[in-house]
Chain A
Amino acid sequence: MSLLQKERDVITRNEYADTFDFAEIENFIANAPKELFITHHFKKRDRLLVQPRGGFPTYKKMFELYETFMGADIDVLPLTIDSNTRLNDYAMAQKMLRLSEENEMDMLNGYPLVNHGYRTTRKMMTHFNKPVSLRHGTPDARLLVETALASGIFEIEGGPITYMLPYSKNFPLDKAFLYWKYVDKVCALYSKLNEPINRESFGPLTATLVPPCIVIVIQLIEMLLSLEEGVKSFSVSFSQNGSMMQDIITSNVLKKLAREYADTFGSHDAIINLVYHQWMGAFPRNKELSDQLINTNTVIAAMVRADKIIIKTRDEAFGIPTMQCNAQSVANTKYTLRTLKGLPLIHDAEEEENLELEVRAIMDAVFNDPADTLWRKVFNTIKSGLIDVPFSPHIINNNKVITIRDDEGNIRIIDKGKLPLPDRCFAYEKSKVNLPESKTEVITKIIHDIGAML
C-alpha cells in the first residue's frame, strides 16, 4: 500500500465521517456524468460561467437553495462550508446541525459536509447534475476534500497561502503546505479516472488594497504547487480592485505568465482557467446601489475575458442572503452577460511591462531561495518578507508594504517593504501618485481608498 493511501486511511477514519469505500468511490468518479465536471464546461469555452456563493446547514434547505438556483439557469452550484468544519470541529458542527434540523433555524453559516457524509450528499449532487464548487477556507481540508470528491464535487477551491494569510493569525504555514499537498495529490489521482478535477486558488486575498504583483505571484505559486502534484486543471483568480484598466492588465499578465510558468515546469497539458470575483471589499448599505456595483463588476468580468465569475448579492452588507435574492443576482448577471456584446480588446504596453517585471522579480527571488523544494522556498520567501500581503492578520506576514490609489483608482505601492522590486518598477509606481504632504492625510486617504465602493 502506498504511503498516500496509508495517510488517506488514517484521515478518513473519523467518528464523524462516513466509512470510506475507496473502490466504490473510484468507480463512481470513473462513471460520473461529464456534466458534473466543471472542466468539461470550461473546455467548451462558449460562455462565462456564473457561480454564486451559498450554503445552508440542513440537507433540506441546501436542496431548496439548489432548486432556486436552477430556476435562474445557473452554470455552477456553490457548496459553502460552515465555520466549525473549516476548523475541523466536527463535534460542534454535528451539534449545530441537529439543532438546525430540530428547530428549523440555521445554526451554522454553511453546509457541514463531513457530518452529512458523502453517501447522502452524493444524492443531491447527482440529482441536479450540475458542476459544484467547494467553497470553504480550511487550513487542513484533507477529510473535507475526500468527502467532497466522493460526493461528486469536482472543483476544490483553496490553497496553502490564499486560505491562510487572509484568514488566520497563527496556524502554522508549513503545516498548511503539507495538508494542501495531500489535497492536490488526491485531486490528481482522481483526475486520471474521468474528466480532470479542477483546483482553484483564492486570488482576492485580504481584498484590501492588495497590489496586482502580489496577487499574481501567489496565484502562480499555488498553481505550480498543484501542477507539481499532478493536477491537470487549475483556475487562477483575482477580484475587482477598483480600476477597470488595472483589472484588465492584471488579467493579461496573469494569463500570459500562468501559461508560461506552467510550460516551463513541464505542465504543457495542464488547462489554466481565469476566475473573476466581484468586489470583495465593503458593499454599500443601499441595496439598489449594490445592484449597480454588481452590474459594473459583471461588465469588467467580461472585459477581462474570465472563464468564470463569482458573484455577490444586494444583501452583501447585511449578512447571508436569502435564496431568492441570491438567485435573482444569478439571473441579473446572466442577463448582463447575454446582452453585452462586442467588447474591445484592451492592452497597455507600459503598464503590462511594468507589472510583468515586478512579478518576474519576485518569482526569481522565490526560485533563488536555497531550499530544496518549492513549498519550502515559498515558505522562506514569505517568512523573510519578499512576499508580503497587505492587511494579513497572520504573524508570519511581514506587514511592511503600503499601497494607495492613484487618481485613476489603480493600486500603487508607496512603501515596498522587502519586496524585491526592480528600482525602475518602484519608481514607476511612485511616479503615479501625488501623495498628500502630511502623513495623517495619507492615512485618511488610505482609509478612503479601502472603502472605495461605499
Chain B
Amino acid sequence: MKVVTGVVGNDIHVVANRLIDISLQARGFEVFNLGVNTSLEEFIDAVVETDADILLISSLNGEAEGWCRDLQFLRSEYDLREDVVFVIGGNLAVGEAKQDDIIPKYRSYGFDLVFHQVDLNTGLDALEQYVKERA
C-alpha cells in the first residue's frame, strides 16, 4: 500500500518524521515522505500524484489544527478517491488537552484516525488493523 506522510505547517521536527518513514517501510508500505514544513495542499497534491491509499500527517509543535481545518473542503475540491484513509498523529494541541476533546474535533475535520500523544508503534498497529478491517 502507498502512504504519503510528512509534518504539517511551520514545524521542523524531523526526527519523528524520519522514524515514521522507517517504521512504515519496515511494515511493508511504499512511503512517499514530504518531510517537514509541508502544507495541506502539498499533501493532497501528493496523494493525487502517487495514487496513495493513506495520508499520514504528523505534527509535534501543536499547531496542526490551524493547518488541517480545510481538509473536507480540499477533499471535495480535488476529486479524491473515496477510500483514501486520512490519519493524523503526534502532539495535536498547544499546552495540555484531553483526548476526549481532541479526537472528536479532528474527526470532524475529516480524519479517520486521530492519535494524540500515542506511541508510534501503537498508532501504526491501529492503522494496520483499521486498513485490514476495511478491506
Contacts and interface: CB of A to CB of B under 8 A. Distances in A.
Interface of A: 167, 169-170, 206, 208, 390-393, 395, 399, 402, 439-440, 442-444, 446-447, 450
A393 B27 CA distance: 23
Nearest to A444: B121
A392 B14 contact: yes
Contact of B14 (A391, A402, A443, A447): A391
B26 A439 contact: yes
Contacts of B21: 399
Contacts of B18: 390-391, 399
Contacts of A442: 26
Contacts, number: 45
Given A392-B14, A393-B14, A443 B19 contact: yes
Contacts of B23: 439-440, 443
B26 A443 contact: yes
A169 B120 contact: no
Contacts of B120: 443, 447
Q: Name the 5 nearest CB pairs between A and B, nearest first.
A: A439-B26, A393-B14, A393-B36, A169-B37, A443-B23
Interface in B1-46: 12, 14-15, 17-19, 21-23, 26-27, 33, 35-37
A241 to B, nearest CB: 16
A169 B36 contact: yes
Contact of B35 (A169, A402, A443): A169
B12 A169 contact: yes
A440 B15 contact: no
Contacts of A208: 15
A378 to B, nearest CB: 22
Nearest to A415: B22
A393 B17 CA distance: 9
B5 to A, nearest CB: 13
A443 B15 contact: no
Nearest to A441: B121
Interface residues of B, number: 17
A450 B33 CA distance: 21
Given A393-B12, A393-B14, A393-B36, A447 B19 contact: yes
Centre residue among B14, B22, B120 by max chain A CB count within 10 A: B14
A10 B37 CA distance: 32
A404 B37 CA distance: 26
Contacts of B33: 399
Contacts of A399: 18, 21, 33
B22 A443 contact: yes
Contacts of B15: 206, 208, 391, 450
Contacts of A167: 12
Centre residue among A391, A395, A402, A443 by max chain B CB count within 10 A: A443
A442 to B, nearest CB: 8
A392 B35 CA distance: 10
Contacts of B27: 439-440
Given A399-B18, A442-B26, 12 more contacts: A169-B36, A169-B37, A393-B36, A395-B35, A399-B21, A402-B22, A439-B23, A440-B26, A440-B121, A443-B26, A443-B120, A447-B19
A405 to B, nearest CB: 15
Nearest to A282: B15
Nearest to A392: B14
A208 B36 CA distance: 16
A167 B15 CA distance: 12
A443 B121 contact: yes
Contacts of A444: 121
B36 to A, nearest CB: 5
B11 to A, nearest CB: 10
B51 to A, nearest CB: 22
Contacts of A393: 12, 14, 17, 35-37
A177 B19 CA distance: 30
A439 B21 CA distance: 13
Nearest to B20: A443
B90 to A, nearest CB: 14
A63 to B, nearest CB: 32
18 contacts: A208-B15, A390-B18, A391-B14, A391-B15, A393-B14, A393-B17, A393-B35, A395-B35, A399-B21, A399-B33, A439-B23, A439-B27, A440-B23, A443-B19, A443-B22, A443-B120, A444-B121, A450-B15
A399 to B, nearest CB: 7
A423 B95 CA distance: 49
A170 B17 CA distance: 16
B66 to A, nearest CB: 19
Contacts of B26: 439-440, 442-443
A390 B21 CA distance: 13
Nearest to A209: B15
A394 to B, nearest CB: 8
